[in-house]
Amino acid sequence: SAVISQKPSRDICQRGTSLTIQCQVDSQVTMMFWYRQQPGQSLTLIATANQGSEATYESGFVIDKFPISRPNLTFSTLTVSNMSPEDSSIYLCSVERPLGSGEQYFGPGTRLTVT
């Protein structure tokens, strides 16, 4: 498994502002993933973040709205930009461990409420 931490654990933000969520892993990983879970819904993949390259976004998600950084092999950030109440969700990062296993382990999530 992997030890993954996220900051902040929760936040309440005003519409029009931006929030950056941090994801820290206890050891180096090749790929990190960002998911969104809207209230009462399932999880949806936002993007895949590889170190040293631009993130790959899924259909319906764009870099301007969800810019991602991956400065090293243990850390990534997701920014939710120009927030609206529809962005209220739990945002989770995950990593594949061990490499090639397909097993993904998730951080505890960041619960975002936009007012």
Residue 45 beta carbon to other proteins: minimum distance, rounded to whole angstroms: 6
Measured from the CB atom, the residue of 14 and 101 that comes closer to other proteins is: 101
Measured from the CB atom, the residue of 13 and 90 that comes closer to other proteins is: 90
Specify the DSSP element, H or E, that contains 30: none
Any residues with CB less than 8 A from the CB of 103 and at least 6 apart, and which?
A: 96, 97
List contacts with other proteins (CB under 8 A).
1, 31, 33, 41-45, 48, 58, 90, 92, 94, 96, 101-109, 111
Measured from the CB atom, the residue of 62 and 99 that comes closer to other proteins is: 99
